[in-house]
Amino acid sequence: MGEKSFKKGFLWGGATAANQIEGAYNEGGRGLANTDFLKYVAPNERRADEATFEQTYASLQEAKAHEDTYIFPKRWGNDFYHHYKEDIALMAEMGFSVFRMSISWSRIFPTGFEEKPNEEGLAFYDKVFDECHKYGIEPLVTMLHYDFPLAVCEKLNGFESRETIALFEKYVRTIVERYHKKVKYWLTFNEINMSLQSLSTCSGAMRDHSLKGLDEEQLTFEVVHNMLLASAKAVILVHEIAPEALAGNMVWKHVYYPKTVRPEDTLQQIFDMNLNYYFYDIQCKGVVPYYLDRYFEQKNIKRNYSPEDIETLKKGKADFLSFSYYMSNISEYQGEPMKFTGLLPDQSRNNPYLKMTDWGWSIDPVGLRIALNQLYTRYGLPIFIAEFGIGMYESMDSNHQIHDQGRIEFVEAHLKQIKEAIKDGVDVFGVTYWGWIDLVSSTTSEMTKRYGFVYVDADDYGKGTYNRYKKDSFYWYKHVIETNGSEI
Ligand code: BG6
């Protein structure tokens, strides 16, 4: 068997999300989105005991009451809406063959409830896709990456309601019909499993505003079930409307190591991994697995799948699998009944063998090889790595140069492990580095948590020129693509 490496035609690119780049929140007929109310929380105001995600999400009422004083950076993003031509040219210069982006639902249906879509919103994405194709860049489009029309959140509490599934289907039908000649790769929901960690951001449901008066855990699994159904329906729609296109899922991949060789810690690891596999099993195999039943019973969480739902899930299986990977976690047995480590605040990232980013995320390239092997062994589907990346504090020198050697080392270490996984026999067909251009952070709404190969001159408060500058990593990644990773 010859040396295996990145295959010919391997898709190299970068990833983004509408709410973190577009800005122009009140232009082009776009309606308000929940993400327009995610406030900036300064580092010294963050609490360690709660996911940062949740801290940026004041209640909508509170956010509205403080609209004049709170900072809502996702309203301006990195201003892609006005810079898209320049940004796509930069991607082309780096040699991207794929650009992962998402469509803003409220640009297409401003409240979610309209019968007719907003033509100006549709036309914007036409322009973006056309610009990509001009350079031979394939758009890989996430249908929903955390931004919901505000009215869907306020009236239906996001995916708590099954009515939201129907509204989402209408939106999916509209975009797939409109763009089926321009988009070959679709992803349904970004990180569908993150609802377990941040309900409001990922599912549009506010935890203390349940329409049916559900407690937080019941509400969480209610929205999870509805989102899994909506995802399956979206896959079915893609298959019907655009049989030549491929529809994938997208899950935050948790990699867990048992804290010690104590057998119970491995039990905990299996338990933790199952909560992650739950999403892949439903989306990739089309079956609802048994292994959460005991947990549901202990927590008195009711399941709500009807026989029709089970059929939908069976039919709406993903064509390929995608995931995001940022760090690994540690599983430590906590006694019975078992609790999921992944649902506890960040204490599980403290691995003495690994370094951490400035935001306390463990840096674990080998974990990426593990993730790829775990997923390919279990599902055998072609894999697209939709996100990996590193957030760093950085600044420009007086010559507009940004020396981000740390990012180069991080990316190189991860690409090496992808290559190892390919040698292990895993079928990886593409990768999009997260935040190829600086953008607003999802969890903290900071601009200063910079991921990009391209620097955007803007601060946390929206001040700056928004000019783009190439960092050292820009040239390095360009070379990686030119050589199809052969020198990695
Ligand atoms: C992923 C999300 O969870 O992580 C992205 O899909 C996000 O939207 C990325 O930006 C990195 O997280 P953060 O909080 O550093 O922006």
Is residue 62 domain-resident? Answer: yes
Cα 133 from Cα 139, distance rounded (Å): 8
Is residue 3 domain-resident? Answer: no
pLDDT for position 339? 86
The b-or-e profile of 441-475 (16+ CB within 10 A means b, else e) is bbbbbbbbbbbbbbbbbbebebeeebebbbbebbe
Mean pLDDT of the chain: 93
Q: Which of 4-13, 342-351, 458-467 shows the lowest per-residue confidence on average (mean pLDDT)?
A: 342-351
Cα 153 from Cα 164, distance rounded (Å): 9
Give the Å distance between the CA of 310 and the centre of ligand 1.
31
Cα 50 from Cα 334, distance rounded (Å): 19
Name the residue of 35, 145, 443, 451 to mutate for ligand 1: max ligand atoms within 8 A of Cβ: 443
Give the Å distance between the CA of 443 and the centre of ligand 1.
6
pLDDT for position 3? 55
Q: CA-CA distances (angstroms) from residue 435 to 70, 248, 392?
A: 25, 20, 11
What integer is the mean pLDDT of 237-245? 98
Which residue has better confidence, 50 or 141? 141
What integer is the mean pLDDT of 183-191? 98
Residue 103's pLDDT band, with cuts at 50, 70 and 90, is very high
Contact 34, 150 (CB under 8 A): yes
Q: 310-338, pLDDT tens digit by residue?
A: 999 999 999 999 999 999 999 999 999 88
Cα 356 from Cα 350, distance rounded (Å): 8
User: Which atom, in ligand 1's list, is nearest to the CA of 435?
Assistant: 10
Contacts of 193 (CB under 8 A, 6+ apart): 224, 251, 252, 275, 276, 278, 279
What percent of the chain stands above pLDDT 90? 84
Q: 333-353, pLDDT tens digit by residue?
A: 999 988 887 655 565 678 999
Beta-bridge mates of residue 141: 101, 186
pLDDT at 280 over 90: yes
Catalytic residue status for 191: yes
Cα 314 from Cα 245, distance rounded (Å): 19
Q: 364-407, pLDDT tens digit by residue?
A: 999 999 999 999 999 999 999 999 999 999 999 999 999 999 99
pLDDT for position 2? 44
**HSE of 270, CA atoms in CB hemisphere, 13 A:** 5
Cα 410 from Cα 172, distance rounded (Å): 36
317 conformational bin, left if phi > 0, alpha if psi -120 to 50, beta if neither = beta
Q: Which of 194-198, 215-219, 229-233, 399-403 shows the lowest per-residue confidence on average (mean pLDDT)?
A: 194-198
Q: Return the DSSP state at 110.
A: S
Domain CATH for 465: 3.20.20.80
Is residue 487 domain-resident? Answer: no
Is residue 488 domain-resident? Answer: no
pLDDT for position 53? 56
pLDDT at 144 over 60: yes
pLDDT at 59 over 80: no
Catalytic residue among 160, 191, 332, 446: 191
User: Which atom, in ligand 1's list, is nearest to the CA of 52?
Assistant: 14
Give Cα 410 to chain centroid, integer Å.
Answer: 20
Q: Helices (H), strands (E): how many in the chain?
A: 16, 15
Give the Å distance between the CA of 42 and the centre of ligand 1.
17
The closest residue, in CA terms, to atom 14 on ligand 1 is 443
Is residue 191 domain-resident? Answer: yes
The closest residue, in CA terms, to atom 12 on ligand 1 is 442
Is residue 1 domain-resident? Answer: no
User: Which atom, in ligand 1's list, is nearest to the CA of 441?
Assistant: 16
Is residue 6 domain-resident? Answer: no
Contact 206, 159 (CB under 8 A): no
Pocket (CB within 6 angstroms of ligand 1): 17, 20, 190-191, 252, 324, 387, 391, 434, 441-444, 449
pLDDT at 1 over 60: no
pTM over 0.90: yes
Which residue has better confidence, 55 or 371? 371
pLDDT for position 63? 83
pLDDT for position 444? 85
Contacts of 218 (CB under 8 A, 6+ apart): 300, 301, 302
Sign (positive or negative) of CA dihedral 72, 143, 234, 151: positive
pLDDT for position 43? 78
Give the Å distance between the CA of 439 and the centre of ligand 1.
10
Sign (positive or negative) of CA dihedral 117, 33, 321, 428: positive
ipTM above 0.85, yes or no: yes
Cα 90 from Cα 137, distance rounded (Å): 11
What integer is the mean pLDDT of 62-88? 94
What integer is the mean pLDDT of 102-125? 98
Residue 443's pLDDT band, with cuts at 50, 70 and 90, is confident
DSSP 13-32: EEE--HHHH---TTSTTPPP
Is residue 419 domain-resident? Answer: yes
Give the Å distance between the CA of 388 and the centre of ligand 1.
9
What integer is the mean pLDDT of 411-422? 98
User: Which atom, in ligand 1's list, is nearest to the CA of 146?
Assistant: 8
| Domain count along the chain | 1
Q: CA-CA distances (angstroms) from residue 312 to 26, 133, 166, 210, 228?
A: 36, 34, 14, 26, 10
**Residue 112 is part of which domain span?**
11-482
Catalytic residue status for 154: no
